[in-house]
Every structure is written in C-alpha cells, then in structure tokens.
Chains A and B, each alone.
Chain A
Amino acid sequence: MAETLPASLLSLAGVHTHIDRYHILQGVDLAVPRGGLTMLLGRNGAGKTTALRTILGLWRASAGTIHFDGNDIAKRETPAIADLGIAYVPESMGIFAGLTVQENLVLAARRGPPDEARLEWIFRFFPPMKKFWHLAAGNLSGGQKQMLSISRAIVEPRKLVLVDEPTKGLAPAIIQNLIDAFAELKKTETTILMVEQNFHAARSLGDTVAVMDAGRIVHAGRMADLAGDEALQTRLLGLSLEAHQ
C-alpha cells in the first residue's frame, strides 16, 4: 500500500459473537477509516451480516472491543449505539410496510420533522420517494423499498451508515441508480460500511475493503489493489471478481 489509511471512525478488535451454540465471529479485527466507503466482502456464511449486526448491538459481542468515534460501544444497547450517529440498512430492508413512505421517513428523522432541503436532495436520486410519498410502503416494488430503506438511513446526516447487500435481487437499472446515490453520499461526511456481493457495485464504490472468511478478517486494504489483483481475489474469495459480475 503506497498511502497510509486515514484514522479509523470504527474499530473492532478481537470481536467474537455467538448465536445460540454457533460461534460466528471468531476474533474480528477491523478498522473503518473516517470518510469514504469500506466494502466488507466474503463468501456466504463468512460472518459479514453478523459483523454489521454486532456493531449495532443487535447481536451482542461475547468478547472483544468495538470503538466508534471514541466511544466503547460493545456493551451498549442498540438505541444508544444508533444515537451516536449510526444508521442501518438491513439485508431485509426493514421497511415498515403498513406505514407510508412519508411516515417511514418521519420516523427515521430523530431530530424533528425531516429537513426539506435534505428531502429534495434524496428525491434527486430517488424520485419514486417523492412520487409515492403518501403510499403505504408495502405497495412499493423491491427496488423502491430498497430506495426507501436507504433514504431512511440518510434522512438526517449520519456519521456511519451500515449497509447490508443493497443490490441483492434488484434489476441492473436500479442497481446503477443505487450506485449513483451512494457515490453522491460519499461526497458528504458520512462514512459507509457496506456488505456487497455485486462486484461492479463493490469496485465502483469501495475505497477500502476488508475480506472475511470463517468469522475473521483475512485481508484489509484498498479496493483498487484487490480489484487489480485477480490472483488475490481467487485466493480470498474463491473466484475472480471480474468473472463474478
């Protein structure tokens, strides 16, 4: 690596997570630089989703430390962690189907009514949110639900957004729309930690990358380095990312 990585906003050290009798995270060491987008890659079952959920306290770390913006958050409750400025876009999208688009966003805005200028900024890259403002979210298409889930996460400025496989199951046109939106979000001060299986999206958006295998981080560095090294991709991920597009 030619350049040094910026200071970490989030760091995990020796984090273990058990779910019932399963030992999922087995000593995760991860540093997420402040600003930009860090991609978390790995085979299915490597522990990527568990890592995101453990950071947010949805699953409790059984050992290790998690520091976010100078705070030790490993033992805190989920709402207290979210209050520090972390938003979450789960793999299931987690939208409230019985609430309208507007109500979903009102609920996500913790500081008061959503800021009009911020909403207009969101509508610029997610126009359906404006069009279906008063529609129950359960009636949106899959892509629109994902747009809503992301809009909710960024309806207010956040320090960190955790995003779990945002392009999963979506049409290519929608995926490009999401890539453009995250590229726009990267221009703000928000840091993004994203789990992604779509290499086109991962390569387009990722500044740094961490690769997980069997509950541990087995590689960390710049995305450009991994994208340019087919042998490394095959060794870490079991396939060439180019071939995986």
Chain B
Amino acid sequence: MSAIAQRRVDWVPPALMLAIALAALLLVGNPSTWVTLTIAGLAMGLLIFIMASGLTLVFGLMDVMNFAHGLFIAVGAYVAASTVRLFAGAAGEDSFLANLGAVIPAMLAAAAAAGLLGLFFERVIIRPVYGQHLKQILITTGGMIVAEQLIHVFWGPDLVPLPRPATLRSAFFVGDMAIEKYRLVAVAVGLALFAGMLILLNRTKVGLLIRAGVENKEMVEAMGYRIRRLFIWVFVAGSALAGLGGALWGLYQESVTVNIGASMMVLIFIVIIIGGLGSIGGCFTGALLVGLMANYVGYLAPKVALGCNILLMVLVLLWRPQGLYPVSRQ
C-alpha cells in the first residue's frame, strides 16, 4: 500500500488551534511568556494525547465505556516511580544519556505493567459485559475501586515521589524565554507516538482492520476476521499507552498519588469527545486544543481553567456534534 490515499484533510480544526494561539498572544501581551505557555500547552496536550489515544480506540472499536482507564495511568506512574528508584544511580548522574537509562526503562516498565493489567481487565471484567453500557460503567468503576485499594497495599496510601532525573529538571533560556527540557522530551515522545500510530493505522493491515472495525464490526467479521482477538490487543495497547502516559505525567508532576489518573479523566473525556470517538487524528487535535487552553487560561484566569475546557467542548459539539473528526459508523 504505497500510494497515498486521496482524503480531504480538514484544516479547520488546526486553523482553530492557531486562532486560539494568536488570540492568546494578544491577551498575554508578552511574546516570551506566550512562547513558554505555548510549549507548556503543547507538552501537556501531547501527554494527554498519549493517555487518551487508547481510550478513544477502545470506545470507537469495542464500544466499551471503560471508566477504569485512569487506573492504568496510575499503575503506570507507580511502576515508573519504582523503576526510577531502582535505577537511582543512572537517574542521579549529570549526563542526559545516563538519565535516559533510568527514564526509558521506567516508561517501558510502566507500559508493560499497564498492558498486562489491561489484558486481565479485558479477559475478566470487560468480556462479560460487551454491548452492555450500564454494566460496563458499573463494573469498570468497581474494578477501579478495588485496584486502587490494591495500589495502597503495594505502594502505601502516601504520596510517592517521582523526581525527574537531574538533566531533565532544568530549562533552556532563549533570550528571556524559559523552555523546560522535560517538556521538550514530552513533545518529542508524543509526536513520535502519534507518527507511529498514523503509520500503524494507515500503512498496515492491522491498522486497516482497526479503522474498518471502528466503522462496521459486523462487516469485518463477515470478511472472516476474528475481531474479538483484535479487541483484546487494542485494549492491551490502549492500556499500555495509558501506563506510558502515566509514567510521563508522573515525571511531569514529580510525584504520584492513587488519584493521578482519575484526576486526568475529565480532560481525557473532553479530548476524546472533542476529537470524535475512535478518531486518532481527532484525539491528537483535541488534546492539543485542551492543553493550550488549559495553559493560556490558567495563566490569564486560573480559576476558570477547567471550566474553559468544558466550554470548549460544548462549543465544539454545538459546531460539530460528532466531534472535530467524526468517524462514520454502521
């Protein structure tokens, strides 16, 4: 499949993002502050994208309302904290490469642990309630409560520190603009994952199956594909991405509590609804919009930062009721 598909790219949502950024420049006034806020917003948006991308695919493909998604984020963050402690020597050195020797294993361990937990969740908790939304909400919420108590058993009820390695704590200064190094790492990881997902979804047969399954599961089965198997691996991958996102978010916050995932769920739901359920491109655009809005408004009027994102969702849904990039379903 070497040829590029002739799909009309809808440039209106990116243009909206640009308009918001330019409006923020006028309101903030100081270009240096605006650049700092913009990079912080993009970094936050990309971290939310990593955490939300799995959930939007699970919603879109499997029609599963997984209210326990925040749990995978929390598990990822806790596992990352334990792994960074395990590699404390590498994390404490003054070399960027040595620090990566702690951060990369932490990210991989977080993704693996959350993926394994996702496999257990799909097999034991989700499988009996496919197609039953109310039961899905109840059982995933219940599963999350039980798992949170298990986190207390393993890591205790207190806040667990997750200090960033030495070279990721500082910032670059360009003129009077401060750019945190860790935010650039988050942007790089987020963009790399987005590119990887686009390649997977558009250039591989598994990707085609996922996209086709989001549109019409029955027809995919009628073609001879066992979509239930695909469900399992998409759920595991979505959970692993949430765990990876949790590790990165935990490093961003430099501490972990059991609510680290649950506290992000409002923003994650806003992102996947704004983007259009099941749309990775929509999730990416929605996450960047939410990240930018949270940072601009957090600077200009901190008390209404979350409210403005809810207002953004309402306005987007009034404009495009199926989200920015709706996925056709049958």
Q: A interface vs B, CB < 8 Å?
A: 56, 58, 77-79, 82-83, 87-88, 90, 92, 94, 96-100, 102-103, 106-108, 110, 133-136, 138, 152
Contacts and interface: CB of A to CB of B under 8 A. Distances in A.
Given A106-B1, A134-B3, A82 B223 contact: yes
B327 interface: yes
* Residues of A contacting B: mostly: mixed
A207 to B, nearest CB: 25
A98 B1 contact: no
B215 A110 contact: no
B219 A94 contact: yes
Given A92-B330, A98-B327, A103 B5 contact: yes
A110 B209 CA distance: 12
Nearest to A132: B6
B165 to A, nearest CB: 42
Given A79-B227, A90-B219, A97-B215, 4 more contacts: A92-B330, A96-B219, A98-B328, A99-B212
A100 B5 contact: yes
Interface in B193-229: 205, 208-209, 211-212, 214-216, 218-227
A54 to B, nearest CB: 13
B282 to A, nearest CB: 12
Given A99-B212, A100-B5, A94 B222 contact: yes
Interface of B: 1, 3-8, 205, 208-209, 211-212, 214-216, 218-227, 327-328, 330
A208 B216 CA distance: 32
B208 A78 contact: no
A110 B224 contact: yes
B224 A82 contact: yes
A102 B1 contact: yes
Nearest to B4: A134
25 contacts: A77-B221, A78-B221, A79-B224, A79-B225, A82-B223, A87-B223, A92-B330, A94-B219, A96-B211, A96-B212, A96-B215, A98-B327, A98-B328, A99-B208, A99-B212, A100-B6, A100-B7, A102-B5, A103-B1, A107-B212, A110-B224, A133-B3, A134-B3, A136-B8, A138-B328
Contact of B216 (A78, A82, A96, A133): A96
Contacts of A96: 211-212, 215-216, 219
A98 B211 contact: yes
Contacts of A135: 5-6
B223 A107 contact: yes
Chain A CB within 10 Å — which of B208, B211, B224, B330 has the most?
B224
B300 to A, nearest CB: 38
Nearest to B207: A103
B65 to A, nearest CB: 22
Nearest to A92: B330
A212 B317 CA distance: 46
Contacts of A58: 218, 221-222
B218 A107 contact: no
Nearest to A113: B1
Given A100-B5, A102-B3, A136-B7, A108 B215 contact: no
Nearest to B3: A134
B5 A136 contact: yes
A133 B6 CA distance: 9
Given A103-B208, A106-B208, A138-B328, A98 B226 contact: no
Given A98-B211, A99-B212, A102-B1, A110 B223 contact: yes
Contacts of B220: 107
A106 B207 CA distance: 12
Shortest Cβ-Cβ A-B pairs, 6 listed? A82-B224, A94-B219, A78-B221, A100-B5, A96-B212, A97-B328
A60 B218 CA distance: 14
A77 B205 CA distance: 22
Contacts of B215: 96-99
Nearest to B216: A94
A82 B224 CA distance: 5
Nearest to A138: B328
Contacts of B223: 82, 87, 107-108, 110, 152
Contacts of A107: 205, 208-209, 212, 220, 223
A218 to B, nearest CB: 28
